[in-house]
Amino acid sequence: MKTALVILAAGKGTRMNSDLPKVLHPLAGAPLLIHAMQAGASLAPEHTVVVAGHGAASVRKAAQAHDETALVAEQTDQFGTAHAAGQAAPLLKDFDGTVIVLFGDTPFVQPETLETMIAAQATHDVVVLGFEAADPGRYGRLVVEGETLERIVEFKDADAAERAITLCNSGVIACRSELLFDLIDAVDNKNAAEEYYLTDIVGIARSQGLSATVVTCDESETLGINSRTELAAAEAAFQARARAAAFEDGVTLPAPDTVHFAFDTVIGRDTVIEPNVVFGPGVTVESGATIRAFSHLEGCHVARGAVVGPYARLRPGAELSENVRVGNFVEIKNAQIGEGTKVNHLSYIGDATLGAQTNVGAGTITCNYDGVLKHRTEIGDNAFIGSNTMLVAPVSIGDRAMTGSGSVITSDVDADALAIARAPQVEKPGMATKLFDILKAKKAKLQRGS
């Protein structure tokens, strides 16, 4: 069945007390909006329409950075959810299929739930996602008779009997495209808030003899984010789920509460993640690797058997082959590290390619930036880079070559060669004592003057 997504993302989010549009606040390393887009992406939609309002340019940029095919409709004036969803109509005028309406500030709706809604829509005209609320509060109530959803009543408009209902509305709706927009056109704003409620389409559909039903999910899937407190609670919920999933996948987490995952982190089984490790977006760690304490990884790939850290930083473009060792206070950026190579101490390797079984000594730096352009360093197999070597890119070190400790390498080094590039040591007898005497006298003079 053909599907399209309409994601409502126009709200300002006043309770966030922020200049940033609410749907762009980050959760697990990605804007809230991206979580909604990812959930819907499991349906392989033909179209994804994001309805933006406050900060529309920023919302458009984020949506299309995640999915360049995403369409953006702008809701200049905000008159309610039905009015917002209706802004997508011109962009879907040639679409014939099921539309799922999602919310950009509701990040936890699961793909399986949306698939259940699609299945139900095959036999019903309107499908609404509901949940049994532990505390119904101010949620809209779903009025059901048997399997039929008769109407949705907003809390402001509900009577005492309706407010006693615990089956609540998530706002997520599935409906055939043409029918959805016809029903939206029939919605009025004769309610306590004088807004055009998308939920009113259920009552309108029933009045026309059309069918409506409810698909239910766990309340946790429907968590909406309206404040920074709720954002923090959502982050905690996401991390708890991610840690539980890691355990199920065979990952060892000795101190799970200290490990922070991103929305797209992938960890293979028999991997050990030590305390206080942070994963930014775009990280894949293969089976049997070890990520030691206090390391930060983002936009990188770690192969089987590699060891990273402690206190290491892998930045975007870092590619570690099998059995690589990256040690304490080492930073790797946009660099490919060959199988079995070791970069164990206090080094920066950026814009580089290192071959297999190479050893990089402590304090090595690839000097990759000339103030305008970035340049690459190429190091072959079985090379030995002496401690405190400065590799001034662009530069190439051949297979089995060696650099002397403290060298500043500005020219290519041939295979099997030893390169030493440092000033000769000069010794001046007695000069240390004389220099200290001069400095002490200067210090005493300064103290007398003060």
Active site amino acids: 345
Long-range contacts of 89-94 (CB under 8 A, 24+ apart): 89/181, 89/184, 91/47, 91/49, 92/4, 92/6, 92/47, 92/49, 92/177, 92/181
Quote the CA–CA distance of 412 and 410 in Å, as a whole number. 7
H/E element, 419: strand 418-419
DSSP summary character for residue 20? S
Calculate the CA 216 to chain-centre distance.
28
**Start-to-end Cα distance in the chain:** 86
Q: How far is CA 13 from CA 105, 154, 198, in A?
A: 9, 20, 19
Residue 373 CB neighbour total at 10 angstroms: 9
Quote the CA–CA distance of 101 and 190 in Å, as a whole number. 23
Residue 426 CB neighbour total at 10 angstroms: 6
Closest CA to 210 of 186, 239, 227, 237: 186
Q: How would you class 274 by CB atoms within 10 Å of its CB: exposed for 0-12, middle for 13-18, buried for 19 or more?
A: buried
Structure tokens at 346: 């206090």
H/E element, 236: helix 228-248
Structure tokens at 282: 């775009």
Cβ atoms of 213 and 119 within 8 Å: the answer is no
In single-letter form, the type of residue at position 355 comes to G
Contact residues for 351 (Cβ-Cβ < 8 A; gap 6+): 333, 334, 335, 366, 368, 374, 375, 376, 377, 393
